[in-house]
């Protein structure tokens, strides 16, 4: 799925803490009294890896709840990411639903009759849905993130320190401790703290935009948190998306007959564009899963979200990555409209397809 980039969706994220928050950094005392991890300016921040892990685990929970009775002969919507390495003899005869994506190649080698022609060469379409988006050890994901940085000063005197102990389960008294947890504040000088990050999806689908919209909403509703101490009330955030920017391969758009230069640019499925351009990029198009060819391609064109559209931006290329691209942006209420359209349309359609899928 990384052979050719047909389209990229870039989301500006604004994370607003509703409680103290931290990602563990140094333990200066050596007694378990961790302080927040700091950026080069000395401010607490959320590393991209921590942010991606929180988004992925939340999206996994959403996907598992969509179809808990899914057949074990089908690829799971969300696989088990913590399966230890198993010998190929153990994998022989196992159904696909009991196989983690990290051992998919070994499973195909142990069960050659289950491997479709070219399955290993085009592994993306055989991954669990969560691994298609966030990646697995056998295939890089489509999502990349940047560190979430606070743009106000959060000096050590503003950090919140809370003492706590570990309870002895037999006596009910203090087992170990006391410890001290240090967390960054939710407000600075009486004003809310805002952290900003960027999420980028290459060769995205419309249903993936719907899944991300639901995932962001889970944080705002209090069903998900990030960082350390989430069971103690830390790490509650709202996640807002003030801007979306999509860039499409101009040559592929022209190949499928999309040549309009109107200011309103539809938000097309990038994988739908790749599938519709199979004669121009046959090897890359073969990576597209069959359900995307069915659901996100219409009459030889990539399907677009409706209602809602992007505003075409005429900006000169800043690098080789933006040369030969068609770019559109959406801000404010239009972003909300696009997310709602993605959930009500492509996301629901994709979930229904997966619920009716047969082995």
In a domain, 133, yes or no: yes
pLDDT per position as a tens digit, 253-281: 999 999 877 889 999 999 999 999 988 88
For the chain, which residues score pLDDT lower than 50? none
Residue 78: count of CB within 10 angstroms of its CB: 22
Peptide bond into 307 cis (omega under 30): yes
Alpha helices in the chain (DSSP H): 48-66, 88-91, 104-110, 129-134, 206-220, 250-255, 270-276, 282-285, 290-295, 333-342, 348-356
Q: What is the 3-state secondary structure (H, E, C) of 297-345?
A: EECCEECECCCCCEEECCCCCCCCCCCCEEEEEEECHHHHHHHHHHHHH
Rounded CA separation 353/71 (Å) = 14
Peptide bond into 163 cis (omega under 30): no
What pLDDT score does 349 carry? 96
Rounded CA separation 24/165 (Å) = 18
Rounded CA separation 143/202 (Å) = 7
What pLDDT score does 236 carry? 96
Is-contact 24 38, C-beta < 8 A? no
Give the number of domains in the chain: 1
What pLDDT score does 118 carry? 60
Given the structure tokens 């990029």, which residue do they identify?
281
What pLDDT score does 114 carry? 79
In a domain, 1, yes or no: no
Which stretch of DSSP H or E encloses residue 165? strand 160-167
The pTM score is 0.92
Which stretch of DSSP H or E encloses residue 149? strand 148-150
Domain limits for position 81: 7-356
Rounded CA separation 349/318 (Å) = 37
In a domain, 275, yes or no: yes
Rounded CA separation 71/62 (Å) = 18
In a domain, 189, yes or no: yes
What pLDDT score does 192 carry? 93
Q: How far are the Cα atoms of 7, 251, 253, 286 from residue 278, in angstroms, in the given order?
A: 15, 13, 12, 8
Distance spanning both ends of the chain, measured CA to CA: 23
In a domain, 76, yes or no: yes
pLDDT per position as a tens digit, 50-108: 999 999 999 999 999 988 788 999 999 999 878 877 888 888 999 999 999 999 988 98
Is-contact 244 13, C-beta < 8 A? no
In a domain, 212, yes or no: yes
Exposed e or buried b per residue across 14-39, where buried means at least 16 C-beta atoms within 10 angstroms of its C-beta: bbbbbbbbbbebeeeeeeebbbbbbe
In a domain, 155, yes or no: yes
In a domain, 2, yes or no: no
């Amino acid at each position: 799925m990384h052979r050719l980039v047909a389209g990229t969706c870039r989301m500006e994220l604004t994370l607003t803490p509703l409680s103290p928050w931290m990602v563990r950094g140094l333990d200066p005392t050596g007694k378990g009294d961790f302080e927040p991890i700091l950026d080069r300016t000395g401010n607490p921040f959320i590393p991209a890896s921590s942010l991606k892990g929180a988004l992925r685990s939340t999206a996994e929970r959403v996907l598992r709840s969509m179809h808990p009775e899914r057949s074990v002969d089908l690829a799971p919507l969300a696989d088990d990411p913590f399966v230890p390495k198993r010998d190929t003899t153990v994998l022989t005869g196992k159904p696909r639903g009991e196989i983690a994506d990290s051992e998919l190649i070994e499973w195909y080698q142990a069960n050659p009759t289950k491997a479709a022609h070219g399955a290993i060469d085009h592994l993306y379409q055989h991954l669990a849905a969560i691994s298609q988006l966030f990646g697995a050890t056998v295939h890089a994901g489509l999502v990349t993130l940047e560190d979430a940085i606070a743009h106000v000063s959060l000096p050590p005197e503003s950090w919140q320190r809370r003492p706590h102990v570990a309870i002895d389960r037999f006596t009910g008294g203090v087992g170990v401790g006391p410890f001290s947890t240090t967390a960054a504040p939710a407000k600075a000088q009486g004003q809310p703290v805002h952290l900003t990050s960027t999420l980028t999806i290459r060769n995205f689908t419309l249903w993936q935009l719907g899944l991300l919209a639901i995932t962001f909403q889970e944080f705002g509703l209090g069903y998900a948190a990030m960082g350390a101490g989430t069971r103690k009330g830390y790490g509650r955030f709202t996640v807002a998306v003030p801007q979306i920017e999509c860039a499409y391969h101009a040559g592929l758009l022209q190949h499928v007959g999309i040549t309009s230069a109107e200011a309103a640019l539809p938000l097309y499925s990038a994988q739908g564009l790749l599938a519709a351009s199979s004669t121009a990029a046959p090897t890359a198009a073969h990576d597209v899963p069959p359900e995307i060819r069915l659901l996100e391609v219409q009459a030889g064109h990539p399907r677009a979200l409706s209602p809602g559209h992007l505003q075409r931006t005429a900006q000169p290329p800043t690098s080789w990555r933006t040369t030969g691209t068609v770019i559109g942006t959406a801000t404010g209420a239009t972003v909300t409209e696009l997310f709602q359209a993605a959930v009500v349309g492509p996301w629901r359609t994709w979930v229904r397809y997966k619920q009716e899928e047969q082995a």
